[in-house]
Amino acid sequence: MIYFDNSATTIHKPKKVARAMYNAINSKTLGNPSRGGHRAAQTALRELFKTREIIAHFFGATNPLQVGLTQNATAGLNAVLKGLLKKGDHVITSMYEHNSVLRPLYQILGLEISFIPIERITGSLAYDTVEQLIKKNTRAIVVTHASNVTGAITNLHFLHELCLRYGLILIIDAAQTAGLFPLNISEFQNTIVCFTGHKSLYGPQGTGGIIVQGDIQFIPLLSGGSGIHSFNKEHPHTLPDVFEAGTVNVPSFIGLRAGIEFIQKIGIENIRKKGEKLRLQFIHGLKKYPNTKIYGWNEHSNAPYVPIVAFNLQGIHSTELAFRLDDEFNIAMRSGAHCAPKTHQFFNTEQDSMLRASFSYFNTTKEVHKTLQAIELILKN
Amino acid sequence: MLSTPNQYVLITFNSSHQAIAAEQLLEQKNILSRLIPLPPEIDAGCGLVLRAPFKKKVIVCKTLENAHIDIQKIYMLEYTAKNKKNIHAITI
């Protein structure tokens, strides 16, 4: 199989990820972290701490306790948004957001929401409009680090500077960039990063987290067992406990650690360069067809991208093309809507949808070449 | 008062994760310590406390403070005759 749906999840993982998870379960040494004081419970707690350490180091955080472990980016974003924002608050987000940001925001009754538009020419966010969106009751800017549809990377430093000037919290959805594009939270103040482990960090599904930089207080979204203060009616508000009601998935977070170690070994810059090479090779191949639409990218685009190409070809619906690539050539790409409704509205692809190719470090130029050949054959027939 | 092997300092935290962070930090500094279940003399319920030799109490507390690990309370644990425990809060 040629798998080009890595923005949804990566299926080719470093071998040591599976091995680490197998060994974790097979060791028979990992109890329930923070539940009880015996060795097995403490060993599990230490293993989680090692994962927090590597995540903190990877994202430039100084203290491993700034890292909360969640089941994915969606869970992290829900915990952060619903733990911070309330009726009467105003929040600024963007047209590029995934439903993992939009739906939790819509759920907060009485929350005012403004959207940063997308620039039609470059495909970047229209940064010059952001300042005028800020109101007296604005509490935060919530933004994806890269669009899951177009791959365009957000200029976080610009938004952070505004946040500093107006006393806002910056909340970053790093689902599409963690492991592909550097993000150093030490360069940001009063900032929260939510990430997932199963995409470009090469961890298993069911892993993700929250990194908090600054003295930010949260109301816990979930309450339950914490392993401490059992007779208190309220779940602890301390980091990272505030995000971790119930038993954490220890074997999977040990697997995630192995995924991050792999990235550290290869080097994020080498991973980024490889993805960019594949992205440009694919774009170049698609452009030979007349009226090819590549969304959010053109020769004028000067922002960096993660290795995603969203496109439509004239004469064939994206869903049909995706089906034939899968059925006839065993090539996996995602068609349909991409959980980013505002982005589809902007590009007017609510009906036609679009096809998305997304590459990982394990993809090759040969695979891109084969895929372009397959597309050519489908268009001829 | 000189400490004996039967005297320990106990440090409580607001989170078990802070307790683990404290243990790891002290290990890096070659200060012997271990985590033990929260003694009922301190509080009912659950959780972990850090136990270290009483004579190391100052350096332990300083090390944790320097690393911004929040200490909740500090106690002295003393084993008396017939392995009976005596625990009381102290200040450093």
Q: Is the pLDDT of residue A212 over 60?
A: yes
Confidence at residue A381, expressed as pLDDT on a 0 to 100 scale: 82
| pLDDT tens digits along A323-337 | 999 999 999 999 988
Burial readout A218-256 (b: 16 or more C-beta within 10 A, e: otherwise): bebbbeeebbbbeeeeebbebbbbbbbbeebbbbbbbbb
Chain B interface includes A186 (CB < 8 A): no
Q: Is the pLDDT of residue A379 over 90?
A: yes
A44 contact partners, CB below 8 Å, separation of at least 6: A30, A31, A32, A33, A250
**B43: confidence class by pLDDT, cuts 50, 70, 90:** confident
Among B11, B12, B14, B15, pick the best mutation site for testing chain A contact (most A Cβ within 10 A): B15
Number of helices (H) and strands (E) in chain A: give both, helices first: 11, 12
Q: Which amino acid is at A313?
A: L
A272 contact partners, CB below 8 Å, separation of at least 6: A180, A181
Q: Which helix (H) or strand (E) holds A155?
A: none
Q: Is the pLDDT of residue B5 over 70?
A: no
| pLDDT tens digits along A61-85 | 999 999 999 999 999 999 999 999 9
Q: Is the pTM of this model over 0.90?
A: yes
**B45: confidence class by pLDDT, cuts 50, 70, 90:** confident
Count other C-beta atoms under 10 Å from residue B70's C-beta: 13
Range of lowest pLDDT (A50-54, A70-74, B14-18):
B14-18
Quote the minimal CA–CA distance from A263 to chain B in Å: 25
Quote the minimal CA–CA distance from B1 to chain A in Å: 30
What is the average pLDDT value for chain A, to the nearest integer? Answer: 96
**B3: confidence class by pLDDT, cuts 50, 70, 90:** low
Helix A250-266 crosses helix A268-286 at what angle (to 10 degrees)?
80
Quote the minimal CA–CA distance from A170 to chain B in Å: 24
- A225, closest residue in chain B (CA to CA): B46
Q: Percentage of chain A with pLDDT > 70?
A: 100
Contact (CB<8Å) B21/A238: no
Confidence at residue A129, expressed as pLDDT on a 0 to 100 scale: 98
